[in-house]
Amino acid sequence: MDHYAVFGNPVGHSKSPIIHRLFAQQTGQKISYDPKLVPIGQFTEVANNFFEKALGCNITVPFKEDAFQFANELTPRAQLAGAVNTLKKLQDGTILGDNTDGIGLVRDLKNAKVLLKNQRILLLGAGGASRGVIEPLLNEQPQQLIITNRTHEKAQTLVELTKHLGPITTERYENLNDPVDLIINATSASLSSELPNISKHTIKPQQTICYDMMYSRELTVFCQWAKQHGAAKTIDGLGMLVEQAAESFYLWRGILPKTEAVLRFLRQHIT
Ligand code: ATR
* Span 33-61, pLDDT tens digits: 999 999 999 999 999 999 999 999 999 99
pLDDT(31) > 90: yes
Distance CA(175)–CA(78), nearest Å, equals 32
Fold of 108-236: Rossmann fold (3.40.50)
Question: Is 261 assigned a ligand-binding role in the annotation?
Answer: no
Centre of ligand 1 from the C-alpha of residue 188, in Å: 5
The answer to whether 181 and 115 have CB atoms below 8 angstroms apart is: yes
What is the CB-side half-sphere exposure of residue 141 using CA atoms within 13 A? Answer: 2
The residue ranges of every structural domain in the chain are 2-99+239-269, 108-236
Task: Give pLDDT tens digits for 70-104.
Answer: 999 999 999 999 999 999 999 999 999 999 999 99
| pLDDT exceeds 80 at position 271 | no
Q: What CA–CA distance (Å, rounded) separates 63 from 80?
A: 17
CATH no. of 2-99+239-269: 3.40.50.10860
- Chain-centre distance of CA 247, in angstroms? 12
pLDDT at 186: 97
Q: pLDDT value at position 217? A: 86
Are 155 and 126 a contacting pair, CB within 8 Å?
A: yes
Measured by CA distance, the residue closest to atom 2 of ligand 1 is 128
Q: What contacts 106, CB < 8 A, 6 or more positions away?
A: 116, 133, 136, 137, 139, 140
Compute the distance between CA of residue 197 and CA of residue 268 in angstroms, rounded to an integer: 32
pLDDT band at 153 (very low <50, low <70, confident <90, very high): very high
What is the rounded radius of gyration, in angstroms, for the C-alpha atoms of the chain? 18
**Which of 27-36, 94-103, 210-219 is predicted with the least confidence, judged by mean pLDDT?**
210-219
ipTM, interface predicted TM-score of the complex: 0.97
Q: So what's the pLDDT on residue 178?
A: 96
More confident residue, 204 or 218: 204
Which residues are identified as catalytic?
64
pTM of the model: 0.96
Query: Is the pLDDT at 230 greater than 90, yes or no?
Result: yes
Q: Do domains 2-99+239-269 and 108-236 have the same CATH topology?
A: yes
Compute, in angstroms, the gap from residue 148 CA to the centroid of ligand 1.
11
Q: Is the pLDDT score of 239 beyond 90?
A: yes
Query: Mean pLDDT over residues 252-268, rounded?
Result: 97
Ligand 1: nearest atom to the Cα of 126: 14
Task: Compute the distance from residue 108 Cα to the ligand 1 centre, in Å.
Answer: 22
Q: How far apart are CA 32 and CA 2, in angstroms?
A: 6
Each residue of 105-114: pLDDT tens digit?
A: 999 999 999 9
Average per-residue pLDDT for the chain: 96
* CB-based contact 129:60 (threshold 8 Å): no
Residue 92 DSSP one-character state: T
| Distance in angstroms (rounded) separating the CA atoms of residues 184 and 112 | 14
215 is in an annotated binding site: yes
